[in-house]
Amino acid sequence: MKILIVTDAAPPQVNGVVRTLTQLQKECADLGHQVDFITPVDCFTLPNPLYPEVRLSLFAQKKVRDYLDREKPDAIHIATEGPLGCAARRVCLKENLAFTTSYHTNFPTYFYQKMRVPRSVSYTVIRWFHNASAGVMVATEAVKQELRDFRITNLMDWTRGVDTTLFRPTDEKVMDLEGPVYIHVGRVSLEKNINEFLDLDLDGTKVVIGGGPDLENLKRKYPDAIFTGPKFGEELVQYYNLGDVFVFPSRFDTFGLVLLEALACGVPVAAYPVNGPIDVIGDSGAGILDHDLKKAVEGALRISPQYCRDYAMTFSWQNSARQFLDNLVLIGDNRKAA
């Protein structure tokens, strides 16, 4: 098949959605399918007022139509609910083309906790966007149930994977630090609640790996922590391997790809018992989930690195890609998913 994915999240952004879609393209190619993207790079954009490095695509409908006329894809997937995703949605509905969508970030909870926007209001927008699709791909059962509670019912399973060849235990250390070492990897922005990790009273060293709009603010506020900026590939693997515990304070992720990457490197997870960590960690024993994040960290220190690695080996990007492909709907097939 030739598959078009429309996404507001794309390089140079660094986040779990971008990594998922990049890996998906590779796995689909290995299975004999072509995946093309339309991203903000292809459009006229303006900076997001909240996150200037995230570009907002404007006047994108013509770009989508031109691609469809020229390339004639077999299937269309809209990965994000941003301006570019909305433009693609409008084109598909106007031209009666079936499409699928995916749900990556718990925006209703984020907007409620940060700005007190009622979740019912946010979910009205989410429902409007996704219920027009032939199916909404969702990573976990907990997120599916929450969406069902707000009358979003055309749901499909789409799990995630981890590259266990790249992400692995290694003795190569990029720096010597006083232990225990607590690490966090991901986008450094307000919705990730990294301050709740950095506020913990813990012996040892805290390391934050990643970039984002809140980086400079956190550097000033927490001078005793180490901030490395974004890391990639083998260098990122070495930074993961600094950790004795991976601390994940986010309450808004629908999965948390970095959890699997940490586990594949043999680093146990400490997190809140919320959507994402519940589904990735659950009762596996590869991490500790607790509303008291400090207790979760102290408990995770006692978990065997090999146990974490063995658990991560049960996840596969190839299976994730096959599930995605099975969920796709041909653009001429306008049935609704059950």
Q: Is 112's pLDDT higher than 70?
A: no
pLDDT tier, 111 (very low <50, low <70, confident <90, very high otherwise): confident
Q: What is the pLDDT of residue 48?
A: 76
Range scoring the smallest mean pLDDT among 41-45, 143-147, 221-225, 254-258: 254-258
pLDDT tier, 51 (very low <50, low <70, confident <90, very high otherwise): low
pLDDT tier, 186 (very low <50, low <70, confident <90, very high otherwise): very high
Say how many C-beta atoms besides its own lie within 10 A of residue 66's C-beta: 12
Cα gap 114→110, rounded to integer Å: 6
Q: Is 269's pLDDT higher than 90?
A: yes
Cα gap 43→39, rounded to integer Å: 7
For residues 48-54, average pLDDT: 70
pLDDT tier, 107 (very low <50, low <70, confident <90, very high otherwise): confident
Which carries the bigger pLDDT value, residue 66 or residue 52? Answer: 66
Q: Is 229's pLDDT higher than 80?
A: yes
Render pLDDT for 277-323 as a digit per residue (tens, 0 to 9).
998 998 999 999 999 999 999 999 999 999 999 999 988 898 899 99
Render pLDDT for 19-32 as a digit per residue (tens, 0 to 9).
899 999 999 999 99
Q: Is 324's pLDDT higher than 90?
A: yes
Question: What residues pair up with 134 in beta bridges, in sequence order?
Answer: none
AA letter at 203: D
Highest mean pLDDT among 19-23, 40-44, 102-106, 263-267: 263-267
Please give the torsion angle defined by the CA atoms of residues 312, 317, 323 and 325, in that order, rounded to the nearest 10 degrees.
Answer: 170
Q: Is 5's pLDDT higher than 70?
A: yes
Q: What is the pLDDT of residue 50?
A: 66
Range scoring the smallest mean pLDDT among 9-23, 169-183, 236-250: 9-23
Q: Is 338's pLDDT higher than 70?
A: no
Could you tell me the pTM of the whole model? 0.77
Q: Is 33's pLDDT higher than 70?
A: yes
Average predicted confidence (pLDDT) for the chain? 91
Please give the torsion angle defined by the CA atoms of residues 269, 273, 275 and 279, in that order, rounded to the nearest 10 degrees.
Answer: 60
For residues 170-181, average pLDDT: 91
Render pLDDT for 131-154 as a digit per residue (tens, 0 to 9).
999 999 998 888 888 899 889 989
Q: Residue by residue, what is the 3-state secondary structure of the chain?
A: CEEEEECCCCCCCCCHHHHHHHHHHHHHHHCCCEEEEECHHHCEEEECCCCCCCEEEECCHHHHHHHHHHHCCCEEEECCCCHHHHHHHHHHHHCCCCCEEECCECHHHHHHHHHCCCHHHHHHHHHHHHCCCCCEEECCHHHHHHHHHCCCCCEEECCCCCCCCCCCCCCCCCCCCCCCEEEEECCCCHHHCHHHHHCCCCCCEEEEEECCCCHHHHHHHCCCCEEEECCCHHHHHHHHCCCCEEEECCCCECCCHHHHHHHHCCCCEEECCCCCHHHHCCCCCCEEECCCHHHHHHHHCCCCHHHHHHHHCCCCHHHHHHHHHHHCCECCCCCCCC
